[in-house]
Amino acid sequence: MSVFGEVLLAQNRRRFKGRRYNEPRIPKPRESERTTMLNLSRLTVFRYDMREIMAHYKLEESAAASLMASVIAKASRISINTARDYVIDQEKAGAYPREVTDEICDLLDRFSKLR
């Protein structure tokens, strides 16, 4: 009798419990909305392009380094829009000219990714 009972238990475990072909797929609910953030797999190229912009417009090294670090931190952790707002606020404060803001915002758009 014990052998027969073990066979039934093994047979019950092998039963198909997945979705059948005629059942619709139900997407899992997302816990949070996706936002555009910095593509971290291309971070070194992003840094290189930021340095090129800073060198082209001859910004101070200390100001350029802090701007680059803040932009990367905001874009990778919060969102691209937050980083763009930070760049615009710094430009309004007089840290650098309008052309730098435009190029950095274009760069952020090119290196963005939904996460």
For residues 64 and 54, give the distance between their C-alpha atoms in angstroms, rounded to a whole number: 6
In a domain, 79, yes or no: yes
Say if 60 falls within a structural domain.
Answer: yes
- Into how many domains does the chain fold? 1
Query: Which residue type, as a one-letter code, is found at position 101?
Result: T
Q: 70: domain range?
A: 35-114
Q: Per-residue pLDDT averaged across 11-17, rounded?
A: 60
Q: Apex CA 31: angle with CA 108 and CA 83, to 5°?
A: 20
Between residues 34 and 18, the one the model is more confident about: 34
User: pLDDT tens across 75-112, in order?
Assistant: 999 999 999 999 999 999 999 999 999 999 999 999 99
**81 and 71 in contact (C-beta within 8 Å)?**
no
Residue 1 included in any domain: no
Q: Take residue 81 and report the two structure tokens written for it.
A: 């829009």
- pTM comes to 0.72
Maximum separation of any 2 CA atoms in the chain, in Å: 88
